[in-house]
Amino acid sequence: MTESAEPIRVGVLGARGRMGLEVCKAVDGAPDLELVAMIDQGDVLFSAEEGHAQVLVDFTSPDVVMDNLRWAIEHGINVVVGTTGFTEQRLDQVRGWLAAKPGVGVLIAPNFGIAAVLMMQFAAKAARYFESAEIIEQHHPRKFDAPSGTATRTAQVIAAARAEAGLGPMPDATKEEVEGARGANIDGVRVHAVRSAGLLAHQEVLFGTDGEILTIRHDSLDRVSFMPGVLLSVRNVGRLPGLTIGIDSLLD
């Protein structure tokens, strides 16, 4: 959290939505940021210009986000985007607009959770040093898919790191298995999905070698946990001209 002489001026698009509202509160509570515009359906973007916003945060919807981006880029305003629905085609469109405005930065992230990104980075690094790796994800019972998208991606990252390090298959002497006991096999990494009332969103990645275990666990309890990642993006998007996908590169 580097201190700057003057606070960064921030406008929020989708300010009345669940996430937008949290962003407004978070920006308002940060001493190095100033909330200069709260914009939602029906409001005109002019207020962002009038407030001399340096960064816009967009948590709107797929049908308006592209218009917002074009307008912001044209006006030389950096944008942090949490809105979903970005296809490769849409990303190319954004890249095209940015090419004409080389100083402007746009950061689009599917997920602003810093802990989730760190868990993935740590898993990628640890994977090459341990004989075994296994994932247990735990979610509320209203979830449709098992395992979670995050668990699947983590397994893929681990599998890739193991392959790169020249590690072979993990030790596993299982001969008699009640169907499903050993979990789903994602690229050779076993993934277990627990579903229980009382759970929210949790993931445990276990690495083992003879004599020791290293465990990385993430418990996500509330979407307010995305705010540090949003603020980190707001603070850094001005130094990242062009299009940035995800917050990974902000974490070293």
Query: Binding residue per annotation — 112?
Result: yes
Q: Which stretch binds a second copy (CB under 8 A): 42-50, 56-64, 95-103, 190-198?
A: 190-198
Edge-to-edge order in the sheet of strand 55-58: 33-39, 8-13, 55-58, 78-81, 105-108, 242-245
Query: Binding residue per annotation — 96?
Result: no
Binding mask 144-183 for a second copy (x = CB under 8 A): xxxx----x------------xxx--xxxxxxxxxxxxxx
**Using the rule CB under 8 A, which residue among 80, 133, 157, 158 binds a second copy?**
133
Buried b or exposed e, range 7-43, using 16+ CB within 10 angstroms: bbbbbbbbbebebbbbbbebbeebeebbbbbbbeeee
List binders of a second copy among 199-238 (CB under 8 A). 199-200, 206-228, 232
Alpha-carbon distances, residue 156 vs 50, 105, 122, 186, 209 (angstroms): 46, 30, 14, 7, 20
Count of residues in the chain: 252
Size of the site for a second copy (CB under 8 A): 85
> For 54, which DSSP code?
S
Kindly report the number of other CB atoms within 10 A of residue 227's CB atom.
Answer: 21
**Using the rule CB under 8 A, which residue among 49, 132, 153, 241 binds a second copy?**
132
List binders of a second copy among 55-114 (CB under 8 A). 113-114
Query: Binding residue per annotation — 84?
Result: yes
Beta carbon nearer to a second copy, 104 or 158 = 158
Among candidate residues 145, 127, 122, 123, the one with its CA nearest the CA of residue 193 = 145
Please say if 139 is a catalytic residue. yes
Catalytic pick among 25, 75, 101, 143: 143
**Using the rule CB under 8 A, which residue among 143, 159, 187, 241 binds a second copy?**
143
So which residues are the catalytic ones? Answer: 139, 143
Q: Indicate the annotated binding residues.
A: 14-19, 40, 82-84, 109-112, 140, 149-150
